[in-house]
Chain A
Amino acid sequence: MNGRMGQVIVFACNWDGLSCVEAAAVAGLSYPASVKVVRVSCLSRLDQGLILKAFELGADGVMLVGCEAGECHFDTDPELVDREYEKVRQVLRLLGLGADRLALVRLPRGHGEEFATRVTEFAIEVERMQPALVRGQ
């Protein structure tokens, strides 16, 4: 995270989320180089602290990519993620950074094209915003 604008961290769950990232790679689809993908076992592994840590370290936008409703491999994802997602959006609003710096996307398995489209749109949106923090850059 050195000096450029629009750094995006994607937290992808190990299952349907990551399958979309891999499908995009297999199909040779491109998305902005500002996007960095971090694999987690399930989106429920993420809590508000971990998501905020990404912003603290200089991310300008964070996207959570996980399984669609009812498809979670651990049956724990939807409720936990929605709760933490909402909390972080509220915290980002209080910090004056804007809630839209955090996005939650749920995709069916292997939908690489949709992932590439959604993450590109998000990266462009984040690029338009001011850098989140000076300190982390």
Chain B
Amino acid sequence: MSSIEQEIRDTRASLCLDCGKCTVVCPVAQFDSSFNPRLIVQRRLGPDGSAGDDDSVWSCVSCYMCTERCNYHVRFPEFIQAMRSEALENGAELQCAHGGTMQALMHMMADGNVQQDRLGWLPQDVEVASGCGTVFFVGCAPYFDVVFSDLGVNTLEGVKGALRLLNRAGIPFDLLANERCCGRDLLLQGDREGFAALARANMEEFSRQGVKRVITGCPEGCHTMRVDYPRVLGAVGVEVLHVTEVIAPLVESGELRLGGMEKKVTYHDPCTLGRCLRVFDQPRQVLEGIAGVEVVEMEQSREKALCCGSSPWAFCGVVNRQIQEQRLAQAGATGAEVLVTACPKCQIHLKCAQRSGDGEGTGMEIQDLASLAAGSLD
């Protein structure tokens, strides 16, 4: 049995009962009737199933809504990853979004010769504890703010907010001058080799710097380093936490007192932080810790939250935009002033949709949770 066949088997796809619940909850299927998770499984595993010729595998946004609903816990997004890997091996061409910018960046960062100069944005008021064993993983935010500058994204504000919250909480952290992209998007699009190169580069950097604990602001990095690195590289010996997992208990216990601001906000659960990592309560606890902030929920939230509509910087089209517009409409319908999210990629995708849309929610402010919470500190 080939490794791909084994991988497909590991996703439990062969247990699919053909019930179709995945398709009912799938946001892509809602707008594209030709996309049907159940039938993709059936086509691949059926008697005539052939590898690498099913174009619909590229439409999945890896939101894990299907896995949430599946009674047999078929890990469909991982099945899709394996299918994409197989397709790329068979010569399929990836349709990159944004002119392939992020793919080029990820591949360049995997290069052993790269010595990045990526900390120029660090504010003077942030205290960094060199060599303390805990690292804040900045992720791709410095690149995002350049590459998507015309969308008005400010993902570094979220990073700065997270650092200020950690400073205030008295949690020491170091920053790495040469951390790489975590590689999640390469993994999601089926580029196993590119992903493994980034994973190894990061782990070597952690090992050189004696890193024992990693705190991330980006859910993608958190999931990748916590779940995917050990799967691909074996035991990595590093504890990985999302910043809300670190801050929320301190806010709850009263050890960290946030300030106040009068704002009505709604929280968008990033798929990777919510459904994948099961971090639903902590972001809300942080928001509720800000005096005067009223949190209102969208029609779909927590386990049922709608995706921001895009996945690994590839195959972004009209269906993705429809999902984004629906999410913005849900946010707008809450009457909140601010749409808060805890993922830089969600921010980018939703701001992109705001730029071209004119429906409900397109005029809403979108802000990172850590940036909002840090803004309340006096």
Do A and B originate from a single complex?
Answer: yes
Contact yes or no, A48 B116, CB < 8 A: no
Interface residues of A in 74-130 (CB under 8 A from B): 83, 87, 90-91, 93-97, 130
- Using Cβ atoms and an 8 Å threshold, which residues of chain A touch B100? 49-50, 52-53
B107 interface hit (Cβ, 8 Å) = yes
CB distance from B181 to the nearest CB of A (A): 11
A68 interface hit (Cβ, 8 Å) = no
- Using Cβ atoms and an 8 Å threshold, which residues of chain A touch B116? 94-96
Contact yes or no, A52 B110, CB < 8 A: no
Question: How far apart sit A32 and B146, CA to CA, in the bound complex (Å)?
Answer: 32
Question: How far apart sit A90 and B113, CA to CA, in the bound complex (Å)?
Answer: 18
**Chain A CB within 10 A, most for which of B104, B107, B109, B147:** B104
Q: Which residue of A lies closest to B197 (CB)?
A: A135
Q: Which residue of B lies closest to A91 (CB)?
A: B146
Contact yes or no, B111 A48, CB < 8 A: no
On chain B, the number of residues with a Cβ less than 8 Å from chain A's Cβ atoms is 26
**Chain A CB within 10 A, most for which of B105, B110, B142, B150:** B105
CB distance from B301 to the nearest CB of A (A): 34
A25 interface hit (Cβ, 8 Å) = no
A56 interface hit (Cβ, 8 Å) = yes
**Chain B CB within 10 A, most for which of A48, A93, A94, A96:** A94
1/0 per residue, CB under 8 A from B, across A35-53: the answer is 0000000000001111011
On chain A, the number of residues with a Cβ less than 8 Å from chain B's Cβ atoms is 24
- Using Cβ atoms and an 8 Å threshold, which residues of chain A touch B118? 94, 96
- Using Cβ atoms and an 8 Å threshold, which residues of chain B touch A132? 113
Question: How far apart sit A97 and B111, CA to CA, in the bound complex (Å)?
Answer: 12
A27 interface hit (Cβ, 8 Å) = no
Q: Which residue of A lies closest to B119 (CB)?
A: A94
1/0 per residue, CB under 8 A from A, across B94-113: the answer is 00101111011101111111
**Chain B CB within 10 A, most for which of A56, A132, A136:** A56
- Using Cβ atoms and an 8 Å threshold, which residues of chain B touch A52? 100-101, 104-105, 108
Contact yes or no, A53 B104, CB < 8 A: yes
Given contacts A91-B143, A135-B110, contact A96 B115 (CB under 8 A): yes
CB distance from B155 to the nearest CB of A (A): 13
A55 interface hit (Cβ, 8 Å) = yes
Contact yes or no, A55 B108, CB < 8 A: yes
CB < 8 Å neighbour of A91 from B99, B113, B147: B147
Question: How far apart sit A132 and B112, CA to CA, in the bound complex (Å)?
Answer: 11
Contact yes or no, B117 A49, CB < 8 A: no
Q: Which residue of A lies closest to B150 (CB)?
A: A83
Q: Which residue of A lies closest to B99 (CB)?
A: A49
- Using Cβ atoms and an 8 Å threshold, which residues of chain B touch A50? 99-100
B114 interface hit (Cβ, 8 Å) = yes
A133 interface hit (Cβ, 8 Å) = yes
B149 interface hit (Cβ, 8 Å) = yes
Q: Which residue of A lies closest to B108 (CB)?
A: A56
A26 interface hit (Cβ, 8 Å) = no
- Using Cβ atoms and an 8 Å threshold, which residues of chain A touch B99? 47-50
Q: Which residue of A lies closest to B146 (CB)?
A: A90
- Using Cβ atoms and an 8 Å threshold, which residues of chain A touch B117? 93-96
Question: How far apart sit A55 and B105, CA to CA, in the bound complex (Å)?
Answer: 10
- Using Cβ atoms and an 8 Å threshold, which residues of chain A touch B108? 52, 55-56, 95, 133, 135
Contact yes or no, B150 A56, CB < 8 A: no
Contact yes or no, A56 B104, CB < 8 A: yes
Question: How far apart sit A95 and B114, CA to CA, in the bound complex (Å)?
Answer: 7
Question: How far apart sit A130 and B115, CA to CA, in the bound complex (Å)?
Answer: 12
Contact yes or no, B111 A133, CB < 8 A: yes
Contact yes or no, A135 B113, CB < 8 A: yes
Q: Which residue of B lies closest to A49 (CB)?
A: B99
Contact yes or no, A95 B109, CB < 8 A: yes
**Chain A CB within 10 A, most for which of B96, B113, B117:** B113
Given contact pairs A49-B99, A83-B150, A96-B114, enumerate 11 new A-B contacts (beta carbons under 8 Å). Answer: A48-B98, A49-B101, A52-B100, A52-B108, A55-B104, A87-B146, A93-B117, A95-B116, A95-B117, A135-B107, A135-B113
Q: What are 20 sample pairs from A and B whose C-beta atoms fall under 8 A apart? A: A48-B147, A49-B99, A49-B103, A50-B99, A52-B104, A52-B105, A52-B108, A53-B100, A55-B108, A87-B147, A91-B105, A94-B116, A94-B117, A95-B105, A95-B114, A96-B114, A96-B117, A131-B113, A133-B113, A136-B111
Q: Which 4 A-B pairs have the closest CB atoms?
A: A49-B99, A52-B104, A49-B101, A49-B100
